[in-house]
Chains A and B, each alone.
Chain A
Amino acid sequence: MTKVTFIQPDGTENTVEAEPGMTLMEAAVKNSVRGIAAECGGACSCATCHVYVEDAWREATGEPEAMEEDMLDFAFDVRPSSRLSCQIKLTEELDGLTVRIPEKQF
Chain B
Amino acid sequence: MSVDVIKTDVVIIGAGPVGLFAVFELGLLDVKCHVIDILDRPGGQCAELYPEKPIYDIPALPVVTGQQLTDQLMEQIEPFGAEYHFNEQVDTIERIEDGFRVGTDTGMQFECKVVVIAAGGGSFTPKRPPLPGIEAYEGTSVFYSVRKMEAFKDKDVLIVGGGDSALDWTLNLQPVAKSLTLLHRRSEFRAAPASVQKMLELVDGGDISFKLGQVTTLHGDNAQLTGVTVKGADGSTFEHPTEVMLPFFGLTMKLGPVANWGLNLDENLIPVDTEKFETSEKGIFAIGDINTYPGKLKLILSGFHEAALMAQAAHRIVYPDKKLIFQYTTSSSSLQKKLGVK
**Interface residues in chain A, defined as those with a beta carbon under 8 Å from any beta carbon in chain B:** 39-40, 43, 45-48, 69-70, 72-78, 103-104, 106
Contact = CB atoms under 8 A, between A and B. Distances in A.
Of the listed residues A69, A73, A78, A106, the one surrounded by the most CB atoms of chain B closer than 10 A to its CB is A73
Contacts of A39: 49, 121, 252-253
Q: Is the interface of A mostly helix, strand, loop or mixed?
A: loop
Interface stretch (B19-27, B36-44, B127-135): B127-135
Which 10 A-B pairs have CB atoms at the shortest separation, nearest pair first?
A104-B130, A74-B250, A70-B190, A43-B50, A106-B127, A40-B49, A43-B53, A45-B49, A73-B162, A74-B249
A104 B129 CA distance: 9
Contacts of B249: 73-76, 106
Interface string B237-270: 0000000000001101100000000000000000
Given A103-B130, A106-B249, A69 B50 contact: no
B220 interface: no
Contacts of A46: 49, 250, 252
Nearest to B161: A73
A74 B163 contact: yes
B188 interface: yes
Interface residues of B, number: 23
Interface of B: 45, 49-50, 53, 121, 127-130, 161-163, 184-186, 188, 190, 214, 216, 249-250, 252-253
B298 to A, nearest CB: 10
Nearest to B131: A76
A106 B254 CA distance: 12
A76 B49 CA distance: 18
A73 B184 contact: yes
Contacts of A40: 45, 49-50
A106 B130 contact: yes
A76 B253 contact: no
Nearest to B185: A78
A43 B252 CA distance: 14
B123 to A, nearest CB: 13
Contacts of B188: 69-70
Contacts of B216: 77
Nearest to B127: A106
A45 B145 CA distance: 20
Nearest to A40: B49
A69 B52 CA distance: 17
Nearest to A106: B127
A32 B186 CA distance: 33
A26 to B, nearest CB: 16
Contacts of A48: 252
Contacts of B127: 74, 106
30 contacts: A39-B252, A39-B253, A40-B45, A40-B49, A43-B50, A43-B53, A45-B53, A46-B250, A46-B252, A47-B250, A48-B252, A69-B186, A69-B188, A70-B188, A70-B190, A72-B185, A73-B162, A73-B163, A73-B184, A73-B185, A73-B190, A74-B127, A74-B250, A75-B249, A76-B129, A77-B214, A78-B214, A106-B130, A106-B249, A106-B252
A106 B214 contact: no
Contacts of B252: 39, 46, 48, 106
Contacts of A106: 127-130, 249, 252
A27 B161 CA distance: 30
B48 to A, nearest CB: 8
